[in-house]
């Protein structure tokens, strides 16, 4: 029996990032992607994004809460004890935008923080986010980032994320499992996927260690994708890699992996 082919989502934070978001949605459709996702779409009017999604038949699978307004060092707000009001405003903004464009997942960025107070703050803000999101049938995602790219980020490992998911314990809080971050920090991506499968709400990928297209680097994505699909995961996998040139010239991996 032939194994099912994985479906792919284009992360428009990196792919076609040099053109307006509605045009990037059309480009992803033309390239054969099954869905799209993004980082921070807020500068683009929601009705323009909705029009492009309607015209292509694609769904925007996820978007991020805002990084913050405190300067270049901001990478999220929800674990910062002195920024709770701003964190919740960013959550509200993301929920409103996601509702407007029919996006089912929001990645809540924790920010650069550490310690018990940051943990308690993150938990409180996740309770707020999941409560508000549940009213719109939206899932909240959290994502550990690797220590090389984001050394000061609060959420560092999948074990830490799983413990938080158990502590909050609501059905609309899930793990963003990014094969790139897991590969860089923890290794053994396939076994980590299996162990965390009940918690996973979305999957992303890029090569390890350079975050390029997935047909290069040390991680065998043909094997990883097969493992994921064999496990029964059927949702589109998010291509969140940094193209080393025009995006259209980096897509041959879609036909060989």
Q: What's the rounded mean pLDDT across residues 105-114?
A: 97
Write out pLDDT tens, residues 125-155.
999 999 999 999 999 999 999 999 999 999 9
Question: Quick one: pLDDT band at residue 256, thresholds 50, 70, 90?
Answer: confident
Asked whether residue 2 carries a pLDDT value surpassing 70, the answer given is no
pTM: 0.97
Q: What pLDDT, on a 0 to 100 scale, did the predictor assign at position 257? A: 84
Q: What pLDDT, on a 0 to 100 scale, did the predictor assign at position 71? A: 64
Q: CA 65 to CA 40: how far, in whole Å?
A: 7
Sheet holding 237-239, edge to edge: 35-37, 8-11, 237-239, 200-205, 173-178, 139-142, 105-107, 62-64
Structure-token pair, residue 57: 């038949």
Is 249 a known active-site residue?
no
Catalytic hit among 37, 55, 240, 249: 240
Catalytic hit among 37, 124, 143, 186: 143
Q: What percent of the chain has pLDDT over 90?
A: 94
Please count the other Cβ atoms lying within 10 Å of the Cβ belonging to residue 82.
11
Asked whether residue 246 carries a pLDDT value surpassing 80, the answer given is yes
Q: What's the rounded mean pLDDT across residues 164-187?
A: 97
Is 143 a known active-site residue?
yes
The fold of 27-255 is: TIM Barrel (3.20.20)
């Amino acid at each position: 029996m032939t194994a099912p082919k994985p479906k792919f989502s284009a992360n428009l934070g990196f792919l076609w990032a040099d053109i307006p978001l509605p045009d990037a949605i059309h480009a992803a459709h033309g390239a054969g992607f099954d869905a799209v996702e993004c980082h921070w779409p807020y500068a683009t009017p929601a009705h323009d994004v909705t029009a492009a999604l309607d015209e292509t038949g694609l769904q925007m699978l996820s978007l991020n809460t805002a990084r913050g307004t405190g300067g270049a060092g901001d990478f999220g707000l929800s674990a910062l004890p002195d920024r709770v009001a701003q964190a919740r405003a960013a959550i509200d903004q993301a929920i409103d935008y996601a509702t407007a464009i029919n996006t089912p997942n929001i990645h809540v960025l924790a920010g650069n923080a550490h310690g018990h107070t940051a943990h308690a703050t993150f938990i409180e803000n996740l309770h707020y986010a999941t409560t508000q999101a549940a009213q719109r049938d939206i899932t909240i995602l959290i994502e550990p980032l690797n220590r090389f790219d984001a050394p000061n980020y609060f959420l560092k490992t999948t074990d830490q994320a799983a413990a938080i998911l158990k502590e909050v314990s609501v059905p609309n809080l899930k793990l963003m499992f990014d094969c790139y971050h897991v590969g860089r920090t923890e290794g053994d991506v396939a076994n980590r996927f299996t162990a965390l499968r009940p918690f996973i709400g979305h999957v992303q990928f890029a090569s390890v260690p350079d975050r390029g297209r997935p047909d290069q680097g040390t991680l065998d994505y043909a094997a990883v994708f097969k493992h994921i699909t064999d496990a029964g995961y059927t949702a589109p996998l998010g291509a969140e890699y940094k193209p080393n040139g025009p995006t259209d010239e980096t897509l041959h991996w879609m036909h060989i992996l």
